[in-house]
Amino acid sequence: MSRDKPYKIRRIDEFRWEIPKVGSMRVPGLIYSNSSLFPDIEKDNSCDQVYNVAHLPGIVSRSIALPDIHWGYGFPIGGVAAFDLDEGVISPGGVGYDINCGVRLATTGLSKVDVIPHIKELINALYSNIPCGLGSKGGIILNRDSMSQVAKLGARWAIKQGMGDESDIERIEDHGIMEGGESALISDRSFERGKNQLGTLGSGNHFIEIGFIEEIFDENVAKLWGISLEQVTLMIHTGSRGFGYNICDEFLAKMIKNVSKEKIDLPDKQLACARLNTPLAREYLAAMAAAANFAFANRQIIMNLVQKTWERSLIISPHELKLKLLYDVSHNIAKMENHEVKGKSVKLCVHRKGATRALPAGHPLLPAFFVNTGQPVLLPGDMGRSSFILVGAKGALEQTFGSACHGAGRVLSRNEALRRTKGRDVDRELQDRNVYGKAAGRKTMREEFPEAYKDVSAVAEVAHKAGLATKVAKIKPLGVIKG
């Protein structure tokens, strides 16, 4: 680490590093990692972002980074921070451009032996039927009235249109609706970008993946959740598309002006923010909720498209497929939640940027189905190795405001990934690992090649041993579509 940094990092224990409070930091920084992952964290300046976030007004306890941490806009990706409602702020950089980017996992009644012979035709059919890539457009075109309903109802809007089952609502974070979504705050530009993007995957690291349960760590939880060895799974990773991106972009511009007006001293302008008790903050939260609901609806629609395609492609009935949602989690979001601080229950605004909620058994926010187990924590890895299903643990409430990591986390920039894969056939390399991949372009496959990401097994192990979430099962990919 460069000597000119204004802070030093000290190791606390096997899985935690601290940036002690110095200078104008309001709280210390806390980074979850291990010996194998930490050197890469130091290289990409994401520790600087943990340090910077610790300066924000009203931040409570600590600025947190989870083991999938890497550099992002404003906050690090894999960052968590909570703010009190009186002095604290809301920062779009702590939510991200892709508002409510998240992951949905579903189980099936199929075994890997049923799917492996047909994986290529299944992935090709999904690629043909679900638009993906930058600027992709779907078959649903919203007008202002229908956009208003999506903004308010989230996944329930899609279910009302016949895309899914009412029982899905119990398997989605916050029942698939973030309260307060307000379409009146949506600009014409945001509306135009989003009006034909429902049911589309997007670009970059967004994906649809068919896999199977390779290993089970917690037999009791797996049984309760209907998970079994060699069972085929579906994972969907996408968010609010251009709709959420434009909302973030517009409010960042407003908040940059606001910081100057309110004379909020920031170490990085990308942390532009507004105090939570101001009209601007309330407007952003309402627009953010609208984008979050768009994302919930988007993942609900995509799962419905996958189901129909799967049934047609393999010529099987819904009863044979038995596609059932396990859970849908948000990654990029800010939420008002009650947490214990110094022995008292306090309402806070918790920013999770590339982090997922990890509520343990018995928590009042859990849907009835998960009260006795805790919520699923979904940890997608890269497209060549594995992903993990974990369950929220009590330690997350005690240490990270009920949060855990959201994936493997990048270790190489996209440019560096392209440099390292020059002249390589990534498609063939994936097939050598028994994974069939499809993407909008060869460049995407190279940017997303497996070694561009951390080893998700190590990330899951940190979360498990640090007490944030407990490992339940491991998924091995069979086929993947990348945006």
Please provide residue 327's backbone torsions phi and psi, each rounded to the nearest 5 degrees. -165, 155
Please answer whether residues 204 and 483 qualify as being in contact, where contact means their C-beta atoms are separated by less than 8 angstroms: yes
Q: What is the amino acid identity at position 121?
A: E
How far is 119 from 481, CA to CA, in rounded Å?
12
Count of Cβ atoms closer than 10 Å to residue 469 Cβ: 30
- Give the residue from 152, 144, 148 showing the smallest Cα distance to 180: 152
Give the residues across from 327 on adjacent strands.
105
SS3 73: coil
Count of Cβ atoms closer than 10 Å to residue 118 Cβ: 15
- Active centre residues (catalytic): 406
How far is 68 from 355, CA to CA, in rounded Å?
9
Please answer whether residues 372 and 355 qualify as being in contact, where contact means their C-beta atoms are separated by less than 8 angstroms: no
| CA angle in degrees (0–180, nearest 5) for 410-332-325 | 95
- Give the residue from 381, 394, 396, 385 showing the smallest Cα distance to 478: 385
How far is 313 from 100, CA to CA, in rounded Å?
30
- How far, rounded to the nearest angstrom, does the alpha carbon of residue 222 sit from its chain's CA centroid? 22
Burial class of 392 by CB neighbour count within 10 A (0 to 12, 13 to 18, 19+)? buried
Long-range Cβ pairs for the range 9-17 (8 Å, 24+): 9/42, 9/47, 14/465, 15/67, 15/462, 15/465, 15/466, 16/466
Task: Give CA torsion, residues 241, 242, 248, 251, to 10 deg.
Answer: -150
How far is 14 from 117, CA to CA, in rounded Å?
44
Q: Which two tokens stand for residue 128?
A: 């043909």
| CA angle in degrees (0–180, nearest 5) for 57-58-59 | 95
Q: What is the amino acid identity at position 171?
A: R
How far is 204 from 301, CA to CA, in rounded Å?
20
Fill in the DSSP letter of residue 263. Answer: T
- Give the residue from 333, 303, 99 showing the smallest Cα distance to 193: 99
Entry field: residues in the chain: 483
